Structure formats: structure tokens, C-alpha cells
Amino acid sequence: MSRSGIGYDSHRLEQGRRFVLAGVEIEHESGPAAHSDGDVLTHALIDALLGAAALGDIGQHYPDTDERYAGAASLDLLRDAVAKAAAAGVTPEFADTTVVCERPKLDPHRDAIATALTEALGVPVNVKFTTGEGIGFVGRGEGIAALAVVTVS
């Protein structure tokens, strides 16, 4: 039997913070404000996987109130979520993701991001980028958001 889960994450951007997606550090004057590394794409993917496995959500497993996760590398959390899913008898089959942000331009990093996520999840991960077209917090450059869908068996 096949199931799918959906994940979403967003963070405001702050000056002087690291900008990390799928463990890839991207040069930019601001980055996501977060308890962990603020990797919205990996967070969305974790939530999608946990949802497909009927294991709740990222906040239940890696709460921002737990100091163990302060500055945590989100790819490590994804690997842990894959192990939790496997323990529940769930195997990822495919993932599709979208990052929404105005800048920096992410396309030059697409291959590195997709490779890192594919290696951590253990199956192909498709990575897409779009903008907010000047609308809302993303469009004004105040934040970044990501969506993910994971299919499991």
C-alpha cells in the first residue's frame, strides 16, 4: 500500500544568519531565524515523511524547546526521521519539494540540494524553486517557505 504525506515550513529571514538548504550553505546577507539551522526545505521534507508514516509532526519529535536541537543540522534530523519511519515499517519511495523565496537565486544550488536530500532520504528527491511574485511575507523578502510531498510504501 502506498501513502503520501505533506510538509510545510516557513521562517522569517534575519540579517547575519546562515542561509542553509539541505545542508548547503548559500551566501546571502540574511538567513532563516530558527532554533535549529533553519533549513525550511529539510523541515518540510521531515514533516511530509512523518505524516506519510503516521508518526505525527516535526515538533513532536524535535521540539524547539529542547536544547539538544539548538543549532541542529536538519539533514541529521531527516536521517533520524527516516530511521523512525523504517522502525514503523515505512519506506520512502519518492519526494517532491518546492522552495518559495525571492532571493538569493537558488537555481545554481539545485543539484547540490537535490543530491544531499536524496542521500539523506535514500530515494530520489525532486527540488523546485519559485518566488512569491512580490506578494506576502515571502514576496517582500521577509521570509522563506517550503513544501514537500513524500510517497511511502
CATH number at residue 99: 3.30.1330.50
pLDDT at residue 117 tops 80: yes
23-27 long-range contacts (CB < 8 A, ≥24 apart) are 23/73, 23/74, 23/75, 23/116, 23/120, 24/109, 24/112, 24/113, 24/116, 26/104, 26/106, 26/109, 27/104
pLDDT digits 0-9 by tens, 96-112: 999 999 988 999 999 99
pLDDT digits 0-9 by tens, 27-48: 988 878 877 788 999 999 999 9
- What domain range is 88 assigned to? 3-152
Q: Which of 88, 71, 77 lies closest to 3 in space, CA to CA?
A: 88
pTM: 0.94
Q: How many domains does the chain have?
A: 1
pLDDT at residue 151 tops 90: yes
